[in-house]
A and B are shown apart, each in its own frame.
Chain A
C-alpha cells in the first residue's frame, strides 16, 4: 500500500523515538515524533485536520527513525505533513527564502562584496530580525564568487572519473573547499568533474516547501543522469546533499514514472567522499603519503551523515593519519539543522540542543573539531570557542604536511 512507505502500521508506541528526539528533550511542549508521526498520520489518513505548528519544530535529523526498533519512517511522515502545513505570512516569506539558498547565493554572488556588506549592516539586520524573524544573534556565512569549475583534464592517465555534487554551500560560500575536495580526490587517483546541479533540495524540504524540493530534485536528477549512465559515481562532501541524493529524491519523485529509474541509479551511485575513500583504504588503494602530524581532534558526526548508514568513514580515515588522535564526541545533534537555527522562534531550542555537544567539546579540549556538515560547523563555532572544519581539509593538509 501507498501509506506503507512510512510503515505506519509498525509503530508499537514504545516512545523510543521520543527518547531519541533532540527537540523533545529540550522543549516541554514539543509533542515528539511519536505523536507528530505515526499517531497523527493515522488521523490524517482519516481526514482529520491534524495540522499543528509543532511540525515546523522538527529538525529533520532522522534520529527518531534511526532509533525506532520497528522501522517506522517517522521523520518522513513529519516532513510530508510539514509540506502541507499552513504558515502565517511572514514566516512563510522567510521560509520561502530559506528554501532557496541557491537563489540567495546567485543574487548575492553577482556582487558579493555589496551583499555581504548588506547582510552585516545594522539596518539590514534589524529588518531581518524584526520583520523576517531571523535571529540577530547569528552571522550568515559570507557569499563569494561561485567560481568552482571542473579542473582541466589530465590526458596522461586513465583515471576513474567522478561527478562531484557540490551543493549550495560549497558552490556559493566555500568554492575553495570544493577545490580541496577535487584535489584530495585527485591525490587518490580520481578525475573529478563538477556537476552542473542545483541546490539538493534539503533546505526546501526542511522549510516545508514541497514544490521547490520537487523542482530541485527533478532538475538535479536530469543533470546527473547522463554521467551516472556513463558509469560515473557521484560524490558529495555535504552530508545533507548526500542524504538527499541517496533517499530524498526517491521520496520526492516516487510518482514520477519517467524519472524513477534514474533516481534509483543515482541513489545507488552516490557516495560521500569519506565513504569513497574508506573503500579505497579497504582495497589498499588509499594514498597514505601523509606527513607526520601532531594534532588532537574531536569528531562530530552530523545527523545526515549518520542517517546515510555508512558507519563513521571520516573518523576511521583521520585516525590513519600519523600523529592525529581523534575522539568521537558522540554527543547527539548539534541543533542547527541548516536554516532552523537562524529562525528567531527556534534559536533558543537550537542552542539548547547543542549544549550537550558544546559541553563535550569543552570537556575534550581538542585543537579543532572535525565535522562534515557546514551548518554543524557554524553551530559549533557559535556555541564554543573551537574551530570546526571539514575533514577533507584536514586530510589534504596531512598530505601537504601543513598540520601542526
Chain B
C-alpha cells in the first residue's frame, strides 16, 4: 500500500495550490482527482483574475485579498495570465450614484484606476455600446485556469509530489478518531487502491459535502450555478465589467482567442448534471449586448455551467477552529469535534486559491509539527524560459504556432523540439484553430509529461485542442488517430473514446439556439451520423 503524509481530495485550483504549497514545505502529498485536472468549478469558471474592482463597493476585505493575489499571481505565474486590464463601464441604465461610490471605494482599496470619459473608453474598446457614459480602468486580467492548475501540479511533481487523475476517493479510513488513509478507485478502469496517510484535505469544491460525509462530518456549503457563454472571437481586448452592483451577465473576459460572457447565479442541489435554460441564455446575451451590441450576433461556440461552492455559515458562533474570511472557510474538523487529521476548505475564488492553500497548509504543518512558512507568493511556478529553445522553436515552426506552444509548454518545449528534430513530420498541425502540432499532442499523451492525458478531452485541457470553432469535430478525430498511432488505444477503443468525446462536445453546443455554431453542429452530426445508428449491429442482410 502506498503511503504519504497528506492526501488531497480534488484537483481544482485549490487542491493544486495545496499540493504545490506542501511540496515547498517538504511535506509529502498525493492529490487524487476523480476526473481530469480542473474538473470542477475551476475548469468551468470565467477565468477572471479579479483585481478586486468587482467587490470593492460591497466587500472591501475580499477586494483587498483579490488585489493582493492578483499581483502575486501575475508575478509567480505570468505564463498563465493575460494581463489585459479591465474596464468598469458606466451604462446609462445604471445608477450614477454607484459610479461615485465605486470610485471612492477603489481609492480606499488602492485599486489603481483611471476615470475615462465615453470617448476615451470607446477609443480603447470601439465595440462598446455607443451610449456608455464612461469607464474606470482596473488591473483585471485573464487567467488560463487549466494552465494554472497544471503549473501548480507540474511544479509540485517536480518536487516529488504525486498526482492521480481519474481517481475518485470513495472511502476514508479512520481509527481512534483520526484519519489513517483513503480508498479510491480509478474511474476509467474501476481498479481500487488505498493510501495510508496522516492528513486528508477535502478540497472537493462543490462535492465537499460528499467528501466530508466519507469522514462522517458535515460542511455547510451550498451549490450555486453559473452559466457561461463562449464567444468565437474577442470583441474587446480588455475585461469588460459593468459598473453596478454585481449582477448577472455583466462580465466579458477575453480568454485566448475566445471571449467568455457570463454569468448567472442560481441555487442548485449539487454540482453534477447542470444545464442552462434557453431563457437564461437569451437573458445573458441580452445583457451582454447592452455592453457590447455586437454580442447579440456573435457566434457562440459553447455554453457551460459551473457550480460555485458557497460557504453558508449556519449559525455564526465563534467555535474554535473555524477561520472565516469574507469568502472562504477552512474547517479543521479535529477542533470542531469531528475526525482528527481531516480538513475542509470551501468557498473562495479562483483568484484567492493561493491564499486558501496557504491557510490550509499552515494548518497541516501545525498538525504535522513541521516548522515552515508559506513561500508560494515568492517562488515562480515555472523557471524562466530558455532562450536557446525559444530560438530553435521559432526556426522549426511558424510564428503563431511557436508562440502558442511556448506559452503552453514553457521549458517542456525542449521535448517537442527534440521530437520535431527527430521526426520533422510532427510539426504538422492537428488542431488548426488553436495551433496544436502533432508533436505537442504526442507529448501530452506520453509518459514524459507530468500528468499524461488519458482521454481526448484531457488533451484539450492541456493544449486547447478542440476548443475552437469545430469543437473537436476535425481535430478530435485527428487526436483519436494520434492516440491509436501511439498505441494508447486499439482501433475500437479509439473509436469508442472519440464517440464519447464527441458526444460531450455536442452537449455543450446543443443549448445554442441559432447562428453558425448550429450549422457547425449539424455538420458534425452529419459527418459522424448522429441520427443514424450505424447499422453494423442491426444485422441487416448485405446487398440483397
Interface residues of A (CB under 8 A from B): 1-4, 8-14, 34-35, 39-43, 45-52, 70
Contacts and interface: CB of A to CB of B under 8 A. Distances in A.
A50 B399 contact: yes
A42 B433 contact: yes
B475 to A, nearest CB: 10
B299 to A, nearest CB: 4
Contacts of A9: 232-233, 298-299, 515-516
Contacts of B234: 45-46
B400 A47 contact: no
B436 to A, nearest CB: 12
Contact of A50 (B232, B400, B433): B400
A3 B233 contact: yes
B482 interface: no
Contact of A39 (B127, B432, B516, B520): B432
Contacts of A10: 299, 516
A76 B398 CA distance: 22
A17 to B, nearest CB: 13
Contacts of B126: 2
Contact of B257 (A1, A3, A43): A43
Nearest to A53: B398
B237 to A, nearest CB: 7
B469 interface: yes
Contacts of B399: 48-52
Given A9-B515, A43-B400, 19 more contacts: A1-B235, A1-B297, A8-B233, A9-B233, A9-B516, A11-B469, A12-B516, A13-B432, A13-B433, A13-B474, A34-B432, A39-B432, A42-B233, A43-B435, A46-B254, A46-B256, A49-B403, A50-B400, A70-B516
B132 to A, nearest CB: 15
Interface residues of B, number: 32
Interface string B494-527: 0000000000000000000001100110010000
Contacts of A50: 399-400
Nearest to B515: A9
Contacts of B470: 12-13
Say what secondary structure dominates the interface of chain B. Answer: loop
Interface of B: 126-127, 232-235, 237, 254, 256-257, 292, 294, 297-299, 398-400, 403-404, 432-433, 435, 468-470, 474, 515-516, 519-520, 523
B400 A48 contact: yes
Nearest to A39: B432
B294 A1 contact: yes
Nearest to B404: A48
Contacts of A51: 399
B127 A2 contact: yes
B255 to A, nearest CB: 9
B403 A48 contact: yes
Contacts of A46: 234, 254, 256-257
Contacts of A1: 127, 235, 292, 294, 297-298
A42 B235 contact: no
28 contacts: A1-B292, A1-B294, A1-B297, A2-B126, A3-B233, A4-B297, A9-B232, A9-B298, A9-B299, A9-B515, A10-B299, A10-B516, A12-B519, A13-B520, A34-B432, A39-B432, A40-B400, A42-B257, A43-B435, A45-B233, A45-B257, A46-B254, A46-B256, A48-B400, A49-B400, A49-B403, A50-B399, A51-B399
